[in-house]
Amino acid sequence: MLQKKKRPVIALAGNPNTGKSTVFNALTGAHQKIGNWPGATVEKRWGTLLKKHRRGGQSAKIVDLPGTYSLSAYTTEELIARNFIVEEKPDVVVDVVDASNLERNLYLALQLKELGANLVIALNMVDIAQRRGYKIDVKKLSELMGCPVVPLVADKERGIEELIEVSMLAAEGKVKSRQLSVNYGRDLEGEIEELADHVLRHAKPLAKKYGARWVAVKLLENDAEIISKVNSLDDDICDISLINFAKETEEKLGEPIDINIASRRYGFINGIVKTVLEKSPEERIIRSDQIDRLITNPILGMPIFFAIMYVLYQAVFLVGEPLMGLVEGGVELVSEFAENALIAYNAPEWLSSLILAALIEGVGNVLIFLPNILLLFLGIAILEDTGYMARAAFVMNRVMQKIGLHGKSFISLVLGFGCNIPGIMAARTLKNKDDRLLTILINPLVPCAARMEVFVFIAGAFFVPAVAGQVVFSLLLLSFVLIALAGILFRKFLVGGKREPFVMELPPYHVPTIKGLILHMWERTKVFVQKAGTVIFVVALLMWFLASYPDGVEYGSAESYIGMLGKGLSPIFAPLGFDWRGTVALLFGFLAKEVVISAFGILYGVADEAVLTDTIAAVWTPLQAYVFMVFILIYVPCFAAVAVIKQETGSWKWMAFAIIYTTALAWIVAFLVLQLGTLLGYA
């Protein structure tokens, strides 16, 4: 019997914005899993090689390492990438390199070679390099780096098949590769040799795992993790003589040793780049540079951003309206079929009520808004994949700084438009603890897709589509105002501290691929659909029970358990103009914001979405509807988001603070909006 081949592990490494995620998606498609690296809050992604890419049916596990510029020990991402390569020993490490920024990208590649990784360089964005007038000698680059180099245009999947073939051959040891060793100069090489010899003799496990020379260089770079590992085996290595050598050498060099080592690496890389890279004699101004002059303009940049967001919200309503009708028709057909089947089988009344009210009304009324959610996620995916979102962060940095936030906080806030949970988790990219905490606390003020669904439902009931988009856009502007006020106040009274400087690389513009957009849209929509099938159904089931009992009461009436609950809490919300039904909807909205729609369907006893909107429009005034949306915009995020705040801050205190401040702020702002609207005669 033939023994099954071991499935090789291919790790993807690379700087941020080199197209590493695009390569990962091209290799794995939708066969991806997402979690956290053990002991860290950094996202971990891994998947299986698509069947169409398998050579002779041979599969492979693809691991997407965190994007990082080096393998030092300064950030969690760098340590995770380094430790995975050393501890897990992947069969191949594919370093995705931006061909249009070769010198900076090869720094990581050089460190991977020094670490002893079985390296393959994926030279991505060669089309952009060509447009800039760069010509790269790929064969020469491969010779000088001592590893295979595969040219790539990942967003068009050019070179992907060759990359897979070369990587699989490298995993089998069938590709030529050689070790690289940088000469760190006369002042350091002697000490590196002595330290390496000492490591070989007294710290053999480290020498075997990392390589004696690599450990020696890291000791001179004052790498805290390696020093700790060395001391656990032999504390004589890092003795006073090493400290004295470092001091004397730094005086002689006129700079810290780690800076000198980095300079030597860049000198080595610079020599390679000069050999393999040929630039056109005249500097080319490519189209992306011309676009950036407009998009990132200090005066025009912000109005352009708000104009783009306005168009996005208008499209969600105007394009989504007819699509909603199609989904609604499907839900109605399912409802009619279920009702007829229940009558035909003489199902008990309670079972009919359970299926029609909890399942079809509860979940169906939420799924009707799926087209709007898809359009919103599609819009955000386009903005991200084209490279515009990084420019938006660059433009908004000045505003972010003025309101107490870090420029990178903007990325976290934008992700919150899809869902507050990934938005909160995206604060991990901020290195400063105070910046991270501030971003986490403010993210719940961003209107997520679930809140958007409620806005679509309520605004659609009271306003024509063109006006409804403007109404929802006004809520977006209100959220920006509140984020600004919260940022200023929290920075002054809660966290303080110095902010890290904002440095963000602007990736090249890309024309998004249909496949990439679908994958990004599906990743986000899948969470929404799963929530509709689980959380929303369970909550709808609970609401159905509370609306149906005690025995003998009218379904969803004030005498039911749900009516008693609403009436008991209604005095808190009466000053805002909410009746007990609105109060109940808000209460269950804490579990999942989409449930607000299900709650209205159950409380008003209406299954048809069109009839439900007409029912609410007859009961409320447009001002009441707007005040209700304002409250939904601001008050406590869903239960899952609250749990993530606890996870990311590691503190019950900050979780409780987020719940209290958002709900209190929602009550105050909603009350002020009601009073202002009444004064203006909109009551």
In 3D, which of 432, 437, 471, 308 has the Cα closest to residue 380? Answer: 308
Inform me whether the pLDDT recorded for 443 exceeds 90.
yes
pLDDT value at residue 42: 64
pLDDT in tens, 350-359: 787 777 766 7
pLDDT value at residue 555: 73
CATH number corresponding to 186-256: 1.10.287.1770
Q: At what angle do helices 388-402 and 409-418 cross, to 10 degrees?
A: 120
pLDDT value at residue 317: 72
295 three-class SS: helix
Average pLDDT, integer, range 549-560:
82
What average pLDDT is seen over the chain? 83
Amino acid sitting at position 487: G
Inform me whether the pLDDT recorded for 223 exceeds 70.
yes
Q: Which fold has domain 9-171?
A: Rossmann fold (3.40.50)
Average pLDDT, integer, range 531-549:
75
In the block, residue with structure tokens 């700087």: 15
If one compares 641 and 41, the residue with the highest pLDDT of the two is: 641
Q: So where are the chain's domains? A: 9-171, 186-256
In 3D, which of 654, 639, 662 has the Cα closest to residue 437? Answer: 654
Inform me whether the pLDDT recorded for 158 exceeds 60.
yes
Inform me whether the pLDDT recorded for 1 exceeds 50.
no
pLDDT value at residue 210: 86
Average pLDDT, integer, range 509-513:
74
Radius of gyration for the alpha carbons in the chain, expressed in angstroms and rounded: 29
Confidence tier at 66 by pLDDT (50, 70, 90): confident
Inform me whether the pLDDT recorded for 115 exceeds 80.
yes
For 474, the token pair is 């006004």
Q: Find the length of the chain.
A: 683
Q: Is residue 67 within 8 Å of residue 52, measured between CB atoms?
A: no
Looking at mean pLDDT, say which of 36-45, 274-283, 469-478, 626-635 comes out highest: 626-635
pLDDT in tens, 230-245: 888 876 677 667 777 7
185 three-class SS: coil
- CA end-to-end span of the chain, whole Å? 81
Helix or strand run (H / E) with residue 450 = helix 449-462
Helix or strand run (H / E) with residue 299 = none
9 three-class SS: strand
| 461-469: long-range contacts, CB 8 A cutoff, minimum separation 24 | 461/613, 461/614, 461/616, 461/617, 461/625, 462/617, 462/620, 462/622, 462/625, 463/622, 465/317, 465/318, 465/321, 466/314, 466/317, 466/318, 468/317, 469/313, 469/314, 469/316, 469/317, 469/318
**CA-CA-CA-CA torsion for 181, 186, 188, 191, nearest 10 degrees?**
100
List, in order, residues 6 or more apart from 220 with CB less than 8 Å away.
188, 191, 192, 195, 246, 257, 258, 261
If one compares 331 and 452, the residue with the highest pLDDT of the two is: 452
282 three-class SS: coil
Inform me whether the pLDDT recorded for 159 exceeds 90.
yes
Task: Say if residue 680 is exposed, middle or buried (CB neighbours under 10 Å; 0-12, 13-18, 19+).
Answer: exposed
Inform me whether the pLDDT recorded for 383 exceeds 90.
no
Average pLDDT, integer, range 63-68:
89
pLDDT in tens, 584-642: 989 888 877 878 887 887 788 765 667 778 888 888 999 999 999 999 999 998 887 88
Rounded Cα–Cα distance for residues 149 and 158 (Å): 14
Confidence tier at 644 by pLDDT (50, 70, 90): confident
Inform me whether the pLDDT recorded for 162 exceeds 80.
yes
pLDDT in tens, 117-135: 999 999 999 988 888 888 9
For 221, what's the count of Cα atoms within 13 Å in the CB-facing half-sphere?
21
Rounded Cα–Cα distance for residues 538 and 396 (Å): 40
- Integer CA distances (angstroms), 635 to 629, 656, 674, in order: 10, 13, 16
Average pLDDT, integer, range 13-41:
76
Rounded Cα–Cα distance for residues 53 and 59 (Å): 9
Helix or strand run (H / E) with residue 257 = helix 257-276
Amino acid sitting at position 118: N
